[in-house]
Chains A and B, each alone.
Chain A
Amino acid sequence: MKKKTNGFLWLSATPFFVLIIGFLFLPFIAMITSSFRKTGETSFSIANYTEVFSNKFYLQAIGNSLLISFLASLIGILVAVFVAYSITKFSSKGQERLLLLANMTSNFAGVPLAFAYIVLLGTSGLFTILFNELNIGIFQGFNLYSWFGLVIIYIYFQIPLAIMLLYPIYLGIEKKWKEAATLLGASPMQFWMKIGIPFIMPGIAGTFSILFANAMGAYATAYALVGSNFNLLPIRIGALISGDIFAQPELGSALAVFLGVSMTVALLINEWLMRLVRRDLA
Chain B
Amino acid sequence: MRENKRVHQIIVTITLLYLFIPLAATFLYSLSTTWNKTILPEGLTLKWFSELFQDPRFIDALMRTIQLTVGTMVVSILIMVPAIFAITVYAPRFEKWLQTIVLFPYAMPGVVAAVGLLSIYSKSGLSMVLVLGGSYFVLILPFMYQGVRNSLRTVNAKTLVEAAELLGASRSTAFWKVIVPNITPGIIVSSLLSFSVLFGEFVLANILVGGNFETIQIYLYRRLRESGHLSSAIVVSYFLLLLVLSWIMVSLSRRGTLKLKKKEPTV
Contacts and interface: CB of A to CB of B under 8 A. Distances in A.
B220 A115 contact: yes
Contacts, number: 240
Interface in A229-256: 234, 237-238, 241-242, 249, 252-253, 256
A253 B113 CA distance: 10
B109 A111 contact: no
Nearest to B199: A107
B106 A12 contact: no
Nearest to A218: B109
A220 B23 CA distance: 18
A189 interface: no
Interface string A131-145: 001100000000000
Interface in B38-83: 38-39, 79-80, 82-83
Interface in B87-107: 87, 90-91, 101, 103-107
B116 interface: yes
Nearest to B120: A30
Interface string B108-127: 11111111111110000000
Interface stretch (B149-157, B183-191, B200-208, B259-267): B200-208
B214 to A, nearest CB: 13
Q: Is the interface of A mostly helix, strand, loop or mixed?
A: helix
Contacts of B36: 124, 129
B107 A83 contact: no
Given A26-B120, A115-B235, A120-B25, A263 B109 contact: yes
B183 to A, nearest CB: 14
B16 to A, nearest CB: 7
A23 B175 contact: no
Given A26-B120, A267-B103, A118 B224 contact: yes
Closest 5 interchain pairs by CB? A217-B109, A27-B116, A16-B83, A12-B82, A31-B116
Interface of B: 4-5, 7-9, 11-12, 15-16, 18-23, 25-26, 28-29, 35-39, 79-80, 82-87, 90-91, 101, 103-120, 131, 134-135, 137-138, 141, 171-172, 175, 196-197, 200, 202-203, 206-207, 210, 217, 220-221, 224, 228, 231-232, 234-235, 238-239, 242-243, 246-247, 250, 254
Interface of A: 6-9, 11-13, 15-17, 19-20, 22-24, 26-31, 34, 79, 82-83, 85-87, 89-90, 96, 98, 100-105, 107-120, 124, 126-127, 129-130, 133-134, 156, 159-160, 163, 213, 216-220, 223-224, 234, 237-238, 241-242, 249, 252-253, 256, 259-260, 263-264, 267
29 contacts: A12-B82, A12-B83, A15-B79, A23-B137, A31-B119, A34-B119, A101-B16, A103-B246, A105-B20, A108-B239, A110-B217, A111-B220, A111-B221, A117-B22, A126-B29, A126-B35, A156-B18, A216-B109, A217-B111, A217-B112, A218-B109, A219-B111, A220-B206, A224-B224, A238-B114, A241-B114, A249-B119, A253-B115, A259-B112
